[in-house]
Amino acid sequence: MARSPFTWGIDIGKCGLKALRGRLAPGDPRKFVAEGFDYIEYPMLLSQPEADATELVRAALEEFTKRNDLRGDRVALAVPGQLGLSKFIKLPPIEAKKIPDIVKYEARQQIPFPMEQVVWDWQRLAGGVEEGGFVLDAEVALFAMKREQVYKALAPLDAAGVAIDVLQLAPIALANMVLFDQPPPPPADELGPPPPSTVVVSIGVDATDIVITNGLRIWQRSMPIGGSSFTKALVKELKLTFSKAEHLKRNAVRAEDPKAVFKAMRPVFNEFTAELQRSLNYFTGSDRSATIGKVLLLGNAARLRGLSDFVAQQLKLDVQRPEKFDALEGDGVLTAPAFKENRLAFGTAYGLALQAAGGGRMNTNLMPREIIRDRIIEEKRPWAVGGLVGLLAAGLVSFVGLFFAWKTHADPGFAGAFAAAEAAQRRSQTETTAVEDAKSKRRAAIDQQRSLLQVHERRFQTLDMLRAVESLLPQDEPGSVPENPADRRELHIESIDCQYFPDVAVWFAGVKKQWSDTHSSVAAGSPDSPATPPPPPGGEPAPEPPPTPETTTAADGPTGAGWVIQIIGHHYHNEDRHKPDEGEQFVRSTLVKNLLGEGKDVLVSAGPLAGQRVPVAELGIGYPVIIESSPIRPERVLRSQPVGGAGVPTADQSGTAAAPAVELNRYNFALQFVWQPGGQPVPTPSTPPPPPGE
């Protein structure tokens, strides 16, 4: 069925069911035209002990569906704010395209349940400034409900045959209502003060929803005081039954002794106003730039005589009970006696119908995605079935025509020839597949043999590289190791990993920015660092190395086959007295500088060059890049002094004499460099070799 432009907002409260039907005005999207409404009051409040809430709601929905035809209309349903989680999160300066990712992270942190047990949605609020792709002072609203609560709220509507399109928290529906019906004035400029905020106080049976918004921000909370609190005060003070007290509250002015009635309710008046004042103080305290413009009282309990005047007197604010909704049109609804008498109870239904029609500022929806998906499939199923039937009929007609044409021209003698041709084709395909399998196995055997033959030539290269890296690490002179671990020139290596690349230029293309940052910082931050990017390993000053894979200048990066070695570690050389040689700069001035081979030779301990000192580049080492760098963070560790050497700060180290714990500043880093062993044959792309030495 085609969708109509009309929408329903349904608010199932504890006193009755309120529903409003309408659409956005065709010529003016700032007006909402009401086409129908319904107000069904329960025989008793759902919160009364003797009330059967399930049966009362079922009966009200049955009466509602008998009176009204919902077919084709979009329907929105409100759930109490206490059943959901509402969070308004201020974001740091961030790229606009990364906002969904940070919201997902915040959702996992803010929602105290596993994500598969909740239904959640979010929306960016109107505030914030976007410049050059970055968003400043942005705020997002995050809403969530437990999945079991969602299905519990939908169960009565499903039983009544009402399909819900939008599920929204009641306070957010109120925010949509007030932002549409009484929008705040726009701010004079982006840097000026925000417009004053409107406070919506919707008094329910057992609780009161407070919503504060100025169009840029939304703040809401619920306080546990409602219309039944006044009724309970009358029950207690005047010794009445609950039903008589409820009747007396609604008709207090016509009571035999109105003064006694209001005197009995006076403590609740005071408590209600005090709790409202605390909420407003908390809001203005959390946002110093916020100001309160006016207070709107909604809900049938707001009709209580004297309540608005008392609240205005206590709060010293403009407190109003709206006589009408400014943006709501439709004389057939607005002039109806039932609507006029209960207009204050239709704020939530008004906001729900607005959102379903596309006129709400907040468009989050807590309907489970699987229900929406199944409903879309169900709506399209008749069309899909009809299309398939049409295709089947067309195919059948086409087949019948082709079959008769074939039977007319078919020659039985062709069948044997076709069968023989197909058999020959199958045999050819089988033989071709067998030949390709044999070739593949032969190539695999050759590659394996080649790899085994190369092991002999590479057996010492890994050992040379590891010992070379060890000798290039910074260290204090023997016998002069500082007692304070922070003053030692040492790097603590946590892991060394390697990855083979058929062409290391692919790796270098991904780290060009880190290369530039690493070596421009070396030139700028270290007095003895080169003024220009260092020459590639194996440059002119070094003796002519053995044949190695092709390399180019440092600006272009390395080329050819090789290994990328990754070193992960940390150091504590980060005190104020070490500046500027701290953090990343300490790694640059020690390990990075040594890996560049600036005047540094390495003693070869194994292989054909054992016992000789050769340049770092001759071992195929070069292009060091710091790819990860952490902030410097304090860490409390034990100062330990090994019996046989320099102390290493640790939390638990056997064989040490533990001293008191000390505060050190830790810096973590990850560094990568290229290793292209001299004389190593370039492997074929089909079989990446194992790491040399394995």
Q: Which 3-state string (H, E, C) describes 344-383?
A: HHHHHHHHHHHHHHCCCCCCCCCCCHHHHHHHHHHHHHHH
242, exposed or middle or buried, with CB in 10 Å at 0-12, 13-18, 19+? middle
Given this model, what pLDDT does residue 456 score? 61
| In the chain, where the domains are located | 1-122+140-182+326-367, 193-325, 387-450, 459-675
With a cut of 70, say whether residue 278 has pLDDT above it. yes
| Tokens at 391, concatenated | 């295709």
Q: 59 with 386: CB under 8 angstroms?
A: no
Mean pLDDT of the chain: 83
Q: How far is CA 88 from the centre of its chain?
A: 14
- Using left for φ > 0, alpha for ψ between -120 and 50, and beta otherwise, residue 560 falls in left
pLDDT at 199: 94
Higher pLDDT, 682 or 96: 96
How far, in Å, CA of 620 to CA of 606, rounded? 16
- The 10s digit of each residue's pLDDT in 552-598 is 345 578 999 999 999 999 999 999 899 899 999 999 999 999 898 76
Q: Region 36-52: what's the mean pLDDT?
A: 90
> pLDDT per residue over 525-556, tens digit each?
444 444 344 444 444 444 444 433 333 345 57
pLDDT reading at 373 higher than 70: yes
Q: Does the fold of domain 193-325 match that of domain 1-122+140-182+326-367?
A: yes
Banded pLDDT at 432 (limits 50, 70, 90):
very high
CATH C-level class of 1-122+140-182+326-367: alpha beta
Q: What are the structure tokens assigned to 247, written together?
A: 């009747």
Residue 616 in this model has a pLDDT that exceeds 70 = yes
Q: Which of 324, 222, 298 has the alpha carbon at shortest distance from 18?
A: 298
pTM summary value: 0.57
pLDDT computed for residue 257 by the predictor? 84
Q: Are strands 28-41 and 16-25 parallel, antiparallel or unpaired?
A: antiparallel
Least confident segment among 181-195, 370-384, 420-434, 486-500? 181-195
177, two tokens:
């209502």
Q: What pLDDT sits at residue 428?
A: 93
Read off φ and ψ for residue 15, nearest 5 degrees. Answer: -105, -35
Rounded Cα distance between 115 and 129, Å, is 31
Tally helices (H) and strands (E) across the chain: 18, 24
The CATH number of 193-325 is 3.30.420.40
Closest alpha carbon to 88 in 208, 171, 165? 171
| Range in 92-106, 273-287, 533-547, 588-602 with the lowest mean pLDDT | 533-547
Mean pLDDT of 181-203: 81
- HEC assignment per residue over 447-491: HHHHHHHHHHHHCCHHHHHHHHHHHHCCCCCCCCCCCCHHHCCCC
Least confident piece of the model among 24-28, 234-238, 418-422, 657-661: 657-661
